[in-house]
Amino acid sequence: MRLVIRVKPGSARESVGGAYGEDAVVVRVGARAVDGKATEAALRAVAAAFGVRRGDVRLVSGATSRDKVIEILGDHQELTERAAALRMT
């Protein structure tokens, strides 16, 4: 499943949830946007939120942008339901 995320680096608390625009899920991370640290933290946070291994989450596009497209491996229906729930939080 592909998912659009909006990364908010430098947050006080790490969290995954909330909507940005029409389809992006907000990912807040404590790491700063330096040398890909915020991106890596965001991928780890998404993996934890979806209950998958970090290796099952990969960056498709947006390495230097706050808006990123990621791919999550797993049961498509479960992942879709989880993404919808996270957008609503």
List the domains of the chain with CATH numbers: 2-88 (3.30.1200.10)
* pTM summary value: 0.95
Average pLDDT over residues 68-79: 97
* Pairing mode of beta strands 15-20, 24-28: antiparallel
Distance of CA 85 to the CA centre of its chain: 13
Q: What percent of the chain has pLDDT over 90?
A: 97
What count of Cα atoms within 13 Å lies in the side-chain half-sphere of residue 58?
Answer: 6
- The three-state DSSP-derived secondary structure of the chain is CEEEEEEECCCCCCEEEEEECCCEEEEECCCCCCCCHHHHHHHHHHHHHHCCCHHHEEEEECCCCCEEEEEECCCHHHHHHHHHHHHHC
- Compute the residue count for the chain: 89
Asked if pLDDT for residue 27 goes beyond 90, the answer is yes
